[in-house]
Structure 1
Amino acid sequence: MKLTVTRRRFLATSATVCTGLVWGSWAGAGDPTERVWRAAIIGRTGGGDYGHGYDQIFKGFHNISVEAVADADSEGLRKAAERSGAKRQYRDYRQMLEKEKPDLVSIAPRHPDCHRPMALAAIEVCRGIIMEKPMTETPAEADEILAAADRRGVKICVGHTRRYTAEFVRVRALLQQGLIGTVRQVRIQGKQDQRAGGEDLLVLGTHDFDLMRFYFGDPYWCMASVTVGERDITRADVHQGREPVWVAGDTVHAMFGFPNNVMVSWHSVKTADHWNSPFSKQEKWAFEILGTKGIIAYQSGLDFAWLDSPFLAQLDGAVGWRPLPQPKDWSWPDHARHPVKDLIHAIQTDTQPVCSGYDGRWAVEMVAAVYESQRSRARVNLPLAERTHPLLRL
C-alpha cells in the first residue's frame, strides 16, 4: 500500500519546511485588489512551542501579512520570526495584541494549559483565531472561550486537521452514499506509544473523537474504563503527563453512543511486551468502520482499504481488501481544504469553520466524559452537566 496523508505529513507538505510544514501550498495567486488580512502568531518556546508548524500557517498566502510574533523566550522568538517572516517581535503576547490589533491570530502552542488566557486576550482585538489542538483541558475553559467569541463575533478554528485532509473527507462522502451499508460500529485503537492510556486519550484521541463526530454527529453518551493495569484509577494516579496535562491510567477502554445506533469504541492499552514501542514501518493508530455491506479500515501511515463484505473472515478468498473508490458526484469546496482559507471564509460569510471552536470543545468534552464515566462508574450522558475536570474530582 502506498503512503497516505497522516496529520504529520499534512503538516509537512509546503514550500517552506518547519518540522516539515508547508501550509502555504494552498495559497496561490489571486486578485491583487483583494483585502490583506493582518496576522499575528503567539508561541511559547519550551511550553508547547509552535505546535505542528502553527508559526508558518499563514505563510505563502498572497492576502495575508504576518505582522508580528510573540514569545517570552528571546531565542525562540528570533527563530520563529525567521520561520514565519513576521515583521515585528514581542516578548509579551498581550502587548503585541494591543499594539498590532491583528485580524487573524494563530495560538500555536500544543500544550493547552495556555490556550484559555491567550484566546481570551486575542478575542478582544481580532476577527478570527486558529488554534492548535486540543482546544483546552476542560469543557469549562472551552465554554468561557466560546462565550467570549460569540459576544464579539470572533470565529475560531481548531487544528483537527483530518477534516481538511482529502482521504478522510472522501470517506465521509462514501459513508453518506452507503458504500458499506448501514454503519453498525467503529473500533479505534489509539497510537499506544509510551503515552498509552490517559495521555494518548487527550493528546491524540481528540483527533479520533473529532473525526467520529465529523462522520456520525454528536454522541449521546459515554461508558468507559480507565485503569492502571487491572485496577481502577485513584486520585493518587492523577498526574501531569509528558505534556503538562492532567492524566491518569495506562489503559483506557471507552464506548460512545452516536445517532442512528452507531457504537464507537476507543482503546489505548499498556502492555508488558514491545507493543508500546514505535514499530519500524507503521503506527498502531488505526480504526475500522463496520457496516452491513462492508468494512472501511484505516492504518496511520498507509492507505485506507475497503472490504466489500461485512465479514472479516473470507475463507474462500473471493473477496479481498481493495483501495477505496471515488464518491459519486463528489465536490469539495476550496475553502474547506485548508484551515486558514476556512477561517477567512467563515469570517466573510458569518458561518462556522469546518472545525470550529464548538467542534474543538466537543473533542475535549468526549475526553472528559471518559474520565467522568470512570469516576462515577456509570454511563454518562452528553453534553456533560459538570464542566470541570473529572480527575480533579476523584
Structure 2
Amino acid sequence: MNRRQFLATSIAAGVAVTTRAAEADRKPRVAVIGHTGNGDYGHGLDVVWLHMPEVELVAVADAHADGLEKARQKLKLGRGFADYRQMLAEVKPDIVAVAPRHVDEHRDMTMAAIEAGARGIYIEKPFCRTPAEADEIIASADKGKVKIAVAHRNRYQPSLPAIERMLKENAIGQVLEIRMRGKEDARGGAQDLWVLGAHLLNLATFFGGAPKACTATLFQDERPVTKADVKEGAEGIGPIAGNAVHARFEMERGTPVFFDSIVNAGAKGSGFGLQLIGTKGIIDLRFDTEPLAQLLPGNPFQPGKEPRAWIPISSAGPGQPEPMADIKVAVSSHLLAARDLLAAIHEDRAPLCSAADGRTVIEMIMAVFESHRLNGQRVAWPLTNRQNPLAQWT
C-alpha cells in the first residue's frame, strides 16, 4: 500500500468512525405513515412522539391531501409526503410509525420501512391480515435486524408483572380457565374478534403461553355460518363471517382459554375484558381502565355468606397504592410502548409486544375461522394454512 492509498484508507476509516459516533449521539429520527380515510392515524400513533424529547419527529406521509396538511400542522412538521415510499427514501428515519387502523396496507408499509433501513417500527394492531403476511414481515425484519413492536397497549401495563407474581404465589389458587369477551356491540362476532378481541388474545398468551390448538364455531343469527355468509370485513381485515363467535384454545401452560362475542349482547362494552378464574379467586382485567386489574378473593363456585369486595391491583400489588404517576395516560398514549421500542433497539432484544406476538394473535383468529370451516375440527399449531381460511372456503 502506497502513501496515497494509506491516507485514503485512514480518512475513510476516520469518517466511518465519526459517522457512527454522531449517529450514536443524535436523537433517533421518527417518521409517521398515516392514511386519512383508510385507518387515519390509529389511536394516537402519530402524536405520541411529540411527548418524547428523546426522539426527533421529522416527517409524515399521507396519500390524502387534506389529511396530510392537517397531520403536518398537528405534528408541527415542515415536511409532508403524499407517497410514504418517497418519504422513507428521502428522510431515511430510524423509527417508523405505521399508524393506520385499517389492516390492508400494513404489510406494504412495514416492508417498505424495513427495506428503507428503519431500525424500529411501531405498528397499529392488528399486526396484519394473515399468518403468511406476518411470516414475510418477520423474515425480512429478522434479516435486517429491525425491531417491530405491535400497539397492543395493555401488554405494556406495569401491573402485569404484579399479576404474574400473584399467580406464582398462588393468590387465586389453581388457575382453571381464562375467560374473555369482546365489546359485543354492533361489531359483535367475527368483527369483534378481529378488532377488539386481538387485544384479549394477546394478553391470553401472556398468561397462558403459546396456543397449541383451537376449536371454534361461528354463528349468524343463531344458525351456523355457511360459505354464503362470508363477506369482506370492515377496516381492511379481509373475509369474515358471523355475528357470534365461540372459541376454545388449548395453551402451553395447560389452562384453557375461551373467547366469546355475540352481537349487541348486554350493555355496550360491559363484558370487554379477561378473567383469570382460579380455585381461590378471580383476577379481572378491564382494558384501557385504571386500575387495569382487580382481585376478588374466594372460591368463585361457592357463594359466601358475606359480601366479597374487589381489591384493586396496582404495579405494587393488590391493595397497594399505585406508585407510578399518570399510569393510565402513559399506557393509553403509547408512551410506555414507544419507550420500550427504543430500549429494545438499544439493548438488542425483542419489544414487550413483538412482531412474533402480533403473528400469534393473527394465527389465533385464523384458527377460529379454520376450525369452523372444518365443522368444528380441532386445529393444531403451527397452522399449516397460512392464508385466511374463509377466503378458501369451497
Shorter-chain TM-score range: 0.7 to 0.9
1:71 aligns with 2:62: yes
In structure 1, list runs of 5 or more residues that go unmatched: 1-32
Distance (whole Å) between structure 1 residues aligned to residue 308 and residue 38 of structure 2: 50
- Stretch moving more, 34-43 or 174-183: 174-183
TM-fit CA distance, 1:87: 3.2
Instruction: Give identity over the alignment, percent.
Output: 40
Q: Could you report, residue by residue, the CA deviation over 1:250-288 in whole angstroms, capped at 9, with x for unpaired residues?
A: 1000001112320110100136xxx3663xxx6331332
AA aligned to 1:251 is: A
- Stretch moving more, 312-321 or 245-254: 312-321
Distance (whole Å) between structure 1 residues aligned to residue 146 and residue 272 of structure 2: 34
TM-score, normalised by the number of residues in structure 1: 0.84
TM-fit CA distance, 1:313: 4.3
Distance (whole Å) between structure 1 residues aligned to residue 48 and residue 141 of structure 2: 21
Match of 1:222 in 2: 214
AA aligned to 1:123 is: I
Contact 2:218 2:244 in 1 (8 A): yes
1:1-394 residue pairs with structure 2 within 5 A? 34-125=25-116, 126-245=118-237, 246-270=239-263, 275=265, 278=268, 283-300=270-287, 301=289, 303=291, 304-317=293-306, 319-324=308-313, 326-327=316-317, 338-377=336-375, 378-394=377-393
Distance (whole Å) between structure 2 residues aligned to residue 35 and residue 226 of structure 1: 52
Distance (whole Å) between structure 2 residues aligned to residue 209 and residue 158 of structure 1: 13
Distance (whole Å) between structure 1 residues aligned to residue 259 and residue 124 of structure 2: 22
TM-fit CA distance, 1:345: 1.2
Match of 1:12 in 2: none
TM-fit CA distance, 1:312: 4.4
AA aligned to 1:285 is: F
Q: Larger Rg: 1 or 2? A: 2
Distance (whole Å) between structure 1 residues aligned to residue 129 and residue 110 of structure 2: 14
Match of 1:25 in 2: none
- Cα distance change on mapping 1:331 and 1:83 into 2, 3 Å: same
> What's the RMSD between the two structures over aligned residues?
2.5
Q: Could you report, residue by residue, the CA deviation over 1:185-216 in whole angstroms, capped at 9, with x for unpaired residues?
A: 01111110100000001011110000011122
- Give secondary structure in 2 for the equivalent of 1:47: coil
Contact 1:190 1:204 in 2 (8 A): yes
- Give secondary structure in 2 for the equivalent of 1:105: strand
Contact 2:200 2:273 in 1 (8 A): no
Whose helix proportion is higher, 1 or 2? 2
Distance (whole Å) between structure 2 residues aligned to residue 86 and residue 169 of structure 1: 38
Distance (whole Å) between structure 2 residues aligned to residue 285 and residue 322 of structure 1: 19
In structure 2, list runs of 5 or more residues that go unmatched: 1-23, 325-329
Contact 2:58 2:77 in 1 (8 A): yes
TM-fit CA distance, 1:62: 1.7
AA aligned to 2:362 is: V
TM-score, normalised by the number of residues in structure 2: 0.84
TM-fit CA distance, 1:337: 6.9
TM-fit CA distance, 1:117: 0.5
- Give secondary structure in 2 for the equivalent of 1:57: helix
- Stretch moving more, 191-200 or 78-87: 78-87
How many residues align? The count is 355
